[in-house]
Amino acid sequence: MKLVTFDDGTGPRVGVLDSGGAVVDVSGRPGVGDTMLEVVEAGESGLDAIRAALSSSPARPEQAVRLLAPITPRNNVMAVGRNYHEHAKEFSASGFDASEKKMIPDHPIIFTKAQSSIVGPGHTIDTSMDPSGTSDYEGELGVIIGTGGHRIAAADAFAHVFGYTVINDVTARALQAQHVQFFIGKSAATFCPMGPCIVTADEIDDIAAARLRTTVNGEPRQDACISDLIFDIATLIEAISAAVLLQPGDVIATGTPSGVGIGFDPPVYLTGGDVVEVSIDGVGTLRNPVV
């Protein structure tokens, strides 16, 4: 199923994006809950409740509602730096990675984005939030944790995946470089567009086979296969949960492939009037205008 959070004027509601492009409102139906976090926490029984409610719930055209970020996690969005080989090269060559010791890391580089940076599909990315004027896009696959856990083995990791979404890990490059730690450069308000939906894990046979593509104003910028990840999804979950207690609804942005704005010489930053689209096969297209 493709699950969405939407606003019809009465506040955030949970819905299902059907194959005809309609949003079916299942919020508050028996066993479903009112937020995506409640749906994720309910696990398989929550998904069964949604399936049971589908045929008797009201549907609206997607255009008649406003899609929001599909989930607001309890914690910051966890994210991975330098996790595609070609991007590791371009990032290294750009000189913007103040943390760099090795071009290809021995262990995943994990940072977080403030929860307050999350916005939904269609929402504007506001570059005025970045005082350095160096805002850049990073198209990424987002993994939504279902059942939480501590010390999850890679072999068991996919049993903890609720589903997938699309994330744009928008970054203020100069802040990323000057503060050494990535948090400030990654956390400006509106710098974490997410959506349009969460595709439940059962819908995707092999996420590694999916392609990710990013365009700016229709111009192709990023095009890579998820299988090109240096540290794959199972390895990331094992590495993070070795220390961190993962909770239902936690979001992991798995890293971006080559083709970001700082890969150009000179760098090309986002400016007002741009439109960024990130697409992942089987998951969807996240489209955000820039102001």
Which C-beta is closer to Mg ion: that of 248 or that of 261? 261
- For Mg ion, the nearest residue by Cβ is 169
Side-chain half-sphere exposure of 239, counting CA atoms within 13 A: 17
Using CB under 5 A as the criterion, which residues of the chain lie in contact with Mg ion when the complex forms?
A: 138, 169, 256
Give me the least distance between CB of 161 and Mg ion, in Å please.
19
Q: Which is nearer to Mg ion, 256 or 258 (CB)?
A: 256
Q: Which of 2/173 has CB closer to Mg ion?
A: 173
Rounded to a whole number of angstroms, the minimum distance from the CB of residue 138 to Mg ion is 4
Q: In angstroms, give the least distance from the CB of 140 to Mg ion.
A: 6
Give least dist CB 139 to Mg ion, A.
9
Q: Which lies closer to Mg ion via its Cβ, residue 42 or residue 110?
A: 110
Q: Min. distance of Cβ 18 from Mg ion in angstroms?
A: 31
- For Mg ion, the closer CB: 25 or 138: 138
